[in-house]
Amino acid sequence: MNCPLEKVSLLPDIQFYVVGFGWEKSDDDNLHYVPFITDSRKKYEFFREMSMLIYIPLNQHIFGPPLGVTSIEFLQMGRYVIRNASFPHTLFAKDYNDIKEIISTMRTIKESNIEGSDYYIKKYNYNVFKNSIEKLLEGIKCARGNRN
């Protein structure tokens, strides 16, 4: 997807934060560059201020569109996510015009992304991971037992 950052000036009343590029100034008052936030508390404080995530990874042309932990974190918090690859309870955008249309539509929606949050709870919660790891470890144990 070609989504040039210059186009944020066409949506001056929306603040855009580009994460992972360090603190830099922009010519646009509504475009901010932020470094990766590794401290979990600071990251969630920052995320709580956001209403939506636009997730368009730069390396997708090499690896294909990744899921992205940040997408999952935003779903967990009941936030909306715009992606350039299909994923449950996120909004798909193939280009800048799609993003602009989604943002225009989302301005009227005041509810959280409850479906996205519920999806996270069912698919990515602690018990799901714990059970998966226990099954994996049991499989390893069985495989080792068969060799002896």
- For 34, other C-beta atoms within 10 Å of its C-beta total 14
Angle between helices 69-76 and 40-48 (to 10 degrees): 60
- pLDDT tens digits, residue range 17-75? 887 766 667 778 888 888 888 888 888 888 888 888 888 766 554 445 556 778 888 88
- The CA–CA distances, whole Å, from 31 to 18, 27, 106, 142 equal 8, 8, 19, 54
Separation CA 104–CA 107 (nearest Å): 5
The reported pTM is 0.71
- What would the two tokens of residue 83 be? 């992606």
- pLDDT tens digits, residue range 121-147? 888 878 888 888 898 888 887 766 655
- For 21, other C-beta atoms within 10 Å of its C-beta total 12
- What would the two tokens of residue 19 be? 């994460």
- pLDDT tens digits, residue range 70-116? 888 888 899 999 988 888 999 998 888 898 899 889 888 889 999 99
Q: Between vectors from CA 51 to CA 77 and to CA 81, what angle results, nearest 5°?
A: 70
Pairwise pLDDT comparison (2 vs 146), residue with the higher score:
146
Q: Half-sphere exposure (CA, 13 Å, Cβ side) for 19?
A: 15
Which pLDDT does position 145 carry in this prediction? 62
Residues 6 or more apart in contact with residue 56 via CB below 8 angstroms: 1, 3, 83, 84
